[in-house]
Structure formats: C-alpha cells, structure tokens
Amino acid sequence: MSVIGSLIFCTDCGNLLRESTGDANAILHCTVCGARNNDTIPQTIVSESKPSAFPSALRAKRSAVQELSADDRKTEAIAEKQCVKCGRKEMFYTTVQLRSADEGSTVFYRCVCGHKETENN
C-alpha cells in the first residue's frame, strides 16, 4: 500500500514547504515568506482510521468495480499509467485487498479527467 506523504503548506502564504518530518515539535521555515510553521499534520492523519485496512465479510462480497469511497481516496498514489481517454501519463491509483490474501489485490486507477480503470493482480 503506497501512501502519499503528508505535505505541509505555509500558513501565511500557502507555499508548499516539504513533506512532513512526522515530528509534531518540528518547525518548518517557509522559504518564501520566512514564516515558522508547526509540523502538525501527521497527528490528524494518525487519528483517522481506514475501513479498508480491516476487510470484513460484508466488504468481501462487494463488487470489484465498486466506486472509490472518500476513505480510499486518502491513500491514492500516482502511477505512471497512461489514461486511455485523455492520454495523460499519470493516473491516481489505490490498491484494495478485496478477498483473501491468496487471491491478490485489485488496483483502482483514476484519472483527473474522470476516467477509471480496474486491474486485478
């Protein structure tokens, strides 16, 4: 499961600082406006639970072509996969373990144009 790193933005000017260090006490200096920003985002990430991390019998019965839920989107990563609809060379993807471990996982691809693909490993 790939997870996009937590990105920290300057609270004053909105400049992207860098990926979170995971240290809530760290101070990130903005290179644009010089503001000091607290590295606090990881705390909110940790507090969120992800339903798909705990496959239930109910979930296993769902179709493999289910729509991505809001929780699934949080763990989207970017894959070098060309969208057949708009030709864009990067698509977001999420891997979901739908059944038992020996049956592999399903990868959901999503393009910013709205195109979606599903791939079974």
**Chain residues 63-92 in contact with Zn ion, contact rule CB under 5 A:** 83, 85-86, 88
For 29-58, b/e burial (b = at least 16 CB within 10 A) is: ebeeeeeebebebbeeeeeeeeebeeeeee
Print the binding letters for residues 14-53 with Zn ion: x by CB under 5 A, - otherwise. -x--------------x-xx-x------------------
Q: How far apart are CA 95 and CA 111, in angstroms?
A: 15
d(CA 97, CA 55): 8
Q: Which helix (H) or strand (E) holds 94?
A: strand 91-96
Residue 50 among known ligand-binding residues? no
Residue selected from 10, 28, 96, 98 as contacting Zn ion according to rule CB under 5 A: 10
Report the residue number, 55 or 109, with the smaller CB distance to Zn ion: 109
Which residues of the shown chain bind Zn ion in the complex (CB under 5 A)?
10, 12-13, 15, 30, 32-33, 35, 83, 85-86, 88, 111, 113, 115
